[in-house]
Structure 1
Amino acid sequence: MAYPGQGFPGAGQPPPVGPYPGGPYGGGPPPGPYGQPPPGGPYGGPYGGAAPGGNAPPGVDPEAFSWFQTVDTDHSGFISVKELKQALVNNNWSSFNDETCLLMINMFDKTRTGRIDVHGFSALLRFIQQWRSLFQQYDRDQSGSISFSELQQAFSQMGYNLSPQFSQLLLARYSQRSPNPSIQLDRFIHICMQLQSLTDAFREKDTALLGNIRLSYEDFLAMVVTRML
């Protein structure tokens, strides 16, 4: 049995890039790793000021280094969840949610301190750009968010054979409250990362690759607790 999600960013080959001709993305992917924040914002660099100077460490892209200096507001040499949240925005200008920021920090935190250094931050920027490209591909109406039908189609193309009822459950859990619920980029990343993590955990138990397993109640709890926030 082939399991879905192996083409996700951070899980092997990056997804193909499919920019849009217009819509909320302005004729292609938004510039910079954080989308298109309002001009004159508080962050410096492309946000309305000059980023601090200095040379990038070996192996770190100079642009990523400039962004790192800008986001590292306390000049500690590390990026915390709070600092990352202040820097990342969705297409509707809302900040990334805490849970997604924590998931991404943990993914690139090699020191297990709850923060990432400049090397981890550089890798995180590439990771976010890949997810934004994937998000754009599934946002077929170019609205800047993922609707129920687009989410269902996205799961299908990723290889997940999930029912409409399950997709509706995810939409209700992760969408912003509005007359037409939809998923922003941060929640899309969150959903897909957790689906991939739980799929990996399931596959470890499914040694015969049958697509079903038998679990004790405690095994089930352990699987969920160790893979999700």
Structure 2
Amino acid sequence: MAYNQYGGGGYNPGGYQQQNNYGGYQPPPTPQQQQQQAYGAYGGRPQHQGYPPTQNYGRPPPPVGPPPGADPQLWSWFTAVDTDHSGQLSVDELQRALVNGDWSPFNIETVRTMVNMFDKNNSGTIDFNEFAGLWKYIEDWKRCFQAFDTDNSGNIDHVEMGNALKTFGYNLSEPFIRLLVQKFDKYGKGNITFDNFVQACVTIKTLTDSFRQFDTDNDGWIQINYEQFLELVIRQRS
């Protein structure tokens, strides 16, 4: 089986490129708006947890205002989420700021994956500029999610997931797609929320990229030993 039969390039919203038009922030809706919306804001709902500021041992003090040319609204969200006033967002801080359309918090693994993508200096946190790029990435995924959520339910079922993966260039069987949805279905309802849709798509792309490193003749088949298998899995989890 050849790659062009099952392993496309995958969806890479925004190409991880930072743009000036961040957009997409939606404040928490009123009860009336919640009834009208199948899903609402995918992020941008800072939830202050009351943690006291911590000391910035060995770190430069965070900037007192937005960097030159920064979006003031995006800066205000960043500072609201930065509960320890470190000038950096941890995975936990970012998770508290991101919600699905049903107001459930983002999967911590999805947040960790996105932080790893944009953490250019491997600090385990993201600064404002990295946050700006991540925010654009989330907004691009939001538009993608809305495009494939054809029934406007706020969730993706196995049919919609299959259409999405086919559009991304993957030719995967229906049993596998059902298994994928089951794996990322946190409520057991046969569908997946926005955060897990992102995680599922990124997982498929990452695994395919890892597989391709061993499939040197691009025929869709590989033969690997035990340690190579472990290497493939470890790379995917890094």
TM-score range for the pair, normalised by the shorter chain length: 0.7 to 0.9
Q: Distance in 2 between matches of 1:174 and 1:200?
A: 20
- Name the counterpart of 2:194: 185
Structure 1 residue identity aligned to 2:125: R
Deviations 1:109-159 (CA, angstroms, capped at 9, x unpaired): 122121101111010000000111101111010000101111112111111
1:62 aligns with 2:72: yes
Q: Distance in 1 between matches of 2:208 and 2:66?
A: 37
Q: 1:85 to 1:154 in 2, by over 3 A?
A: same
Q: Of residues 38, 51, 55 in structure 2, which corresponds to 1:24?
A: 38
Structure 1 residue identity aligned to 2:192: I
Q: Of residues 128, 142, 160 in structure 1, which corresponds to 2:138?
A: 128
Q: 1:83 to 1:218 in 2, by over 3 A?
A: same
- Name the counterpart of 2:12: 8
RMSD after superposition:
2.6
Does the CA contact (< 8 Å) of 1:6 and 1:12 recur in 2?
no
Shift of 1:209: 2.2
Structure 2 residue identity aligned to 1:24: A
Q: Distance in 2 between matches of 1:202 and 1:216?
A: 13
Does the CA contact (< 8 Å) of 1:139 and 1:146 recur in 2?
yes
Indicate the percent of aligned positions where both proteins have the same amino acid.
41
Shift of 1:11: 4.2
Shift of 1:23: 5.0
1:1-229 matches, cutoff 5 A = 1-2=3-4, 3-9=7-13, 11=15, 24-25=38-39, 30=40, 34=43, 42-43=47-48, 55-58=65-68, 60-178=70-188, 180-228=189-237
Deviations 1:76-113 (CA, angstroms, capped at 9, x unpaired): 10000111110000011100011111111111112212
The TM-score, its normalising length taken from structure 2, stands at: 0.77
Aligned-partner SS, 1:24: coil
Uncovered stretches (5+) of structure 1, i.e. residues with no partner: 15-21, 44-52
Does the CA contact (< 8 Å) of 1:55 and 1:62 recur in 2?
no
Q: Distance in 2 between matches of 1:173 and 1:7?
A: 20
- Indicate the larger mover: 206-215 or 68-77: 206-215
Uncovered stretches (5+) of structure 2, i.e. residues with no partner: 19-35, 49-62
In the alignment of these two chains, the number of paired residues is 204
The TM-score, its normalising length taken from structure 1, stands at: 0.79
Does the CA contact (< 8 Å) of 1:34 and 1:89 recur in 2?
yes
Structure 2 residue identity aligned to 1:57: P
